[in-house]
A and B are shown apart, each in its own frame.
Chain A
Amino acid sequence: MQSVWPRLEPLLPLVSKPIQYVGGELGAVVKDWDSASVRWALMYPDAYEVGLPNQGVQILYEVLNERPGVLAERTYAVWPDLERLMREHGVPQFTVEAHRPVGAFDLFGVSFATELGYTNLLTALDLAGIPLSAADRDDRHPIVIAGGHAAFNPEPIAGFVDAAVLGDGEEAVLEITGIVAAWKAAGCPGGRDEVLLRLARTESVYVPRFYDVEYLPDGRIQRVVPNRADVPFRVRKRTTMDLDAWPYPKKPLVPLAETVHERYAVEIFRGCTRGCRFCQAGMITRPVRERSITTVGEMVRDGLKFSGFTEVGLLSLSSADHSEIGDICSGLAERYEGTNVSLSLPSTRVDAFNITLAEELSRNGRRTGLTFAPEGGSERIRRVINKMVSEEDLIRTVVTAYTNGWRQVKLYFMCGLPTETDDDVVQIARLAHEVIRAGRAATGTRDIRCTVSIGGFVPKPHTPFQWAAQASPETVDRRLGLLKQAINADRSLGRAIGYRYHDGEPSLVEGLLSRGDRRVGAVIRRVWELGGRFDGWSEHFSFARWTQACADVGVDLDWYTTRERGQAEVLPWDHLDSGLDKDWLWQDWQDSLSEYEQDDCRWTPCFDCGVCPGMDTEIQIGPTGRKLLPLTPVGH
């Protein structure tokens, strides 16, 4: 397969940050095209600087390339300056390793961590010469597969993708590879339709074209039914069990270009059962599966040695919850003491234990900032969202951070939560004032700060809030204004408080894409035609373009977002099985409305969310009782 490099190279001096299109990363793999029987192009549909560090793509890339006969390369969204030149000079979407045209691969796998990447998918398809509409593709075109969290409701992009995979990808990509290899070896019998059918019959690959959606006169969905024999009524998510058996990434990609994360990241567990009702990630990744302390230790050792990174991130949805997190942190801190390796734990749990961990991890360096996520300003709203933190605990925790030498604390909140009143939001100001007042008293200094950071809440599929009405941008913006006033009402305290927030409008679009159905596809396409690109970037996002597109194709934005759904309504993703029992979700939604909290099944009995029996999985947690052994010389 010919490289497009000779045609791309002359364009690079004309664009910004050309290095992002060059490849050459440590850890990149270039395989011989002709000796591979199955070829994947993997995409993270955002700029290289955001997409390259993505763990999901790095893991799948390595898992695939480890197999003989399988080739995987990566591609990212190109910036508009290069897109324009590529169109002018007829250069197709290319992979960064060998600069091969994406259209020549067998499979095109796209990882969606956020719905705002959908317009970038269309740019990539179009540049690759792949028809935007899946129905217009033939045997020459790659099979386009969506994965990542947004794939749990791929309906808005159902017309653009050939398939979607819900959940963990390690085993899924290998199974898909096997099916495609067998079909190709047999001479591609039955063409595209046949291979998609074979994938659909695994019951864990969703092929939208094999399902018909029927609507009620009022616009709600009547039902979604398979239109082929042997295609399952519901498609199941994938769960990778035993993370110790999948210690990826082993060879993390080390880019030449600067990216958002310059570190070796290791997932210390997957899943979360804290049960925050707004958190889709927590709901769809159950149950909790820990990676053992020893595997984490080995991965960090080998990953640093391979990459030369000097920063380690211990990832998960709530890292302080690992059953042996104390030993992991102190073990690693000891191992790297006196070297220039720094450790970080992106955990936001609000308790003193978190500070103990942070102290361990900052042995080598400065105490820059600590982040806590109470998410709601009043105790009432925190009961609604099941974020079990009392105000007393919160203040005590933050004050402990100040007295232990931290000068800057960041607090995360959400605005627009179900049942929220103006007062719930204004309470955030009171809380922040209290934190500063108590902090000043305890430390005897005025040199402490806190930053209040607020995100707009977006109801997500497969969560108890999937039925909830999203707050209108006007409501959100008004409450944020009230909050700002309240923070500054006390000049002395207000000066110590930073305030960061986002406008409500992008959240509304995210809401449309999150809970949309197939009819929303026309909006995405229209926005793209109107020039929509990089919608996750505030400087590229245009709310006017989205409302214009909705009007053009006759989609009612409010109906999809600010409308509360009833129990009986068929939701666009009901035929996609995350394991969560819909009745349990509804009960949890009702519990939320009556401010009733739900415990964590790791420490209290199973509360029957449905995932473990439904997906044939189980909680996998320690403690193993093992410790990290010191390494022989690390700091040469």
Chain B
Amino acid sequence: MARNQPPANQAPVVQRIRLRYAKRGPLRFTSHRDFARTFERAVQRAGVPIAYSQGFTPHPKVSYASAAPTGVASEAEYLEIGLRARVDPAEVGRRLDAALSPGLDVLDAVEAGPGSLADRIDASRWRIELPGVVPDELRHAVVAFEAAAEVPVQRLTKQGWRTFDARGPVVLIRVEEPPSEVSDVPCAILDLVIRQVTPSVRPDDVLSGLRVVVGLEPPVPPRATRLAQGTLTPQGEITDPLLADRTGAVTGVPPG
């Protein structure tokens, strides 16, 4: 049937832009699917000339680097968009930031250079606040966790319960010094660097691991934030994946 042919060809991609964005405060409960939908609408509102895939139901060209789990805040999420017209990356960043709800904030926008974003991301740094947990209690748990060769934990996945090792991919785990301001509720803070593996080990898996090794049970759900994502250096630092694109390219850092 002539009528059931796919619509006319979509315009090709002429420019790729990579964005770093944050998921903050209450909006950390945005799931990845929710974010994707919201982002596509923001693209519409911002009038960004996004390119579409071919076919009956054309999809806007957006690809995401591994997203933080629902409920986990992040200062370092990444995505890439394909455009059908060239635009100043800084301008795109600004327009998208304005179009997204406060709490979903665009932090950086650069034109993509060669190489894929995914290849530049192999680890994340996380910060976990554990209200109601005394720092020494956490220290004790961390010592036991580090000492273990393997810490098997379980997680419910779409395929049912899976058991995997939460210790191996953890590159760094330490208790941060508590903030200077004093509060009547103790709050221990955990600093974590985890390598990206399959199945991925997430902050809640490490917390499960602490429960496994010493039975640590935080009285209220801890609050995790991804602070950085990128390439792990031998020194244990994480390199911004947009750094390579920025070299030589026009960059812009819109107000966050």
Contacts and interface: CB of A to CB of B under 8 A. Distances in A.
Given A24-B101, A256-B27, A367-B3, A310 B57 contact: no
B29 to A, nearest CB: 4
B99 A19 contact: no
Contacts of A256: 27, 30, 34-35, 38, 101
Given A306-B45, A405-B4, A366 B26 contact: no
Interface string B144-155: 000000000000
Interface stretch (A7-15, A54-62, A421-429, A596-604): A7-15
Interface in B1-53: 1, 3-4, 7-8, 26-27, 29-31, 33-35, 37-38, 40-45, 47, 49, 52
B252 interface: no
Contacts of B56: 365-366
A22 interface: yes
Given A308-B42, A366-B4, A23 B47 contact: no
B38 to A, nearest CB: 5
Contact of B29 (A12, A307, A338, A636): A12
B29 A258 contact: no
B217 to A, nearest CB: 14
Contacts of A413: none
Nearest to B60: A340
A305 B31 contact: no
A233 interface: no
Interface string A19-47: 10111111000000000000000000000
Contacts of A405: 1, 3-4
B4 A18 contact: no
A308 B101 contact: no
B7 A365 contact: yes
A76 B159 CA distance: 32
Nearest to B1: A405
Contact of A258 (B37, B44, B221): B37
Query: Which of the listed residues A21, A364, A366 has the most CB atoms from chain B within 10 Å of its own CB?
Result: A366
B103 interface: yes
A9 B26 contact: yes
A24 B26 CA distance: 8
Contact of B49 (A12, A308, A636): A636
A308 B44 contact: yes
B206 to A, nearest CB: 15
Contact of A22 (B26, B37, B44, B49): B26
B31 A19 contact: yes
Nearest to A359: B3
Contacts of B35: 256
A189 to B, nearest CB: 41
B70 interface: yes
A109 to B, nearest CB: 25
Please classify the interface of chain A as helix (H, G, I), strand (E, B), loop, or mixed, using the class held by over half of its residues: loop
B20 to A, nearest CB: 20
A383 B103 CA distance: 57
B71 A254 contact: no
B220 interface: yes
Nearest to B131: A10
Nearest to A25: B101
A403 to B, nearest CB: 10
Nearest to A11: B221
Nearest to A338: B8
Contacts of B45: 305-308
Query: Which of the listed residues A10, A19, A257, A307 has the most CB atoms from chain B within 10 Å of its own CB?
Result: A19
A412 interface: no
B10 to A, nearest CB: 9
Given A366-B4, A366-B56, A308 B26 contact: no
A304 B47 CA distance: 12
Interface in A305-329: 305-310
Nearest to B204: A13
Nearest to A17: B31
B71 A12 contact: yes
A19 B57 contact: no
A336 to B, nearest CB: 12
Interface in B48-105: 49, 52, 56-58, 60, 70-71, 85, 99, 101-103
A256 B221 CA distance: 23
A367 B4 contact: yes
A404 interface: yes
A262 interface: yes
Nearest to A13: B221
Contact of B220 (A10, A304, A338, A404): A10
Given A10-B221, A26-B41, A310-B44, 19 more contacts: A18-B29, A19-B70, A22-B26, A23-B26, A254-B38, A256-B35, A257-B34, A308-B43, A308-B99, A309-B44, A310-B41, A338-B8, A340-B58, A340-B60, A365-B7, A366-B4, A367-B3, A367-B4, A405-B3
13 contacts: A17-B31, A18-B70, A19-B34, A22-B26, A24-B102, A256-B27, A256-B30, A256-B38, A306-B45, A309-B44, A338-B8, A340-B52, A340-B60
Interface of A: 5, 9-10, 12-14, 17-19, 21-26, 254, 256-258, 262, 304-310, 338, 340, 364-367, 404-405, 636
Q: For the complex of A and B, list the 7 residue pairs with the smallest distance between their C-beta atoms, beginning with the closest.
A: A308-B41, A308-B44, A405-B3, A308-B45, A13-B221, A18-B29, A10-B220
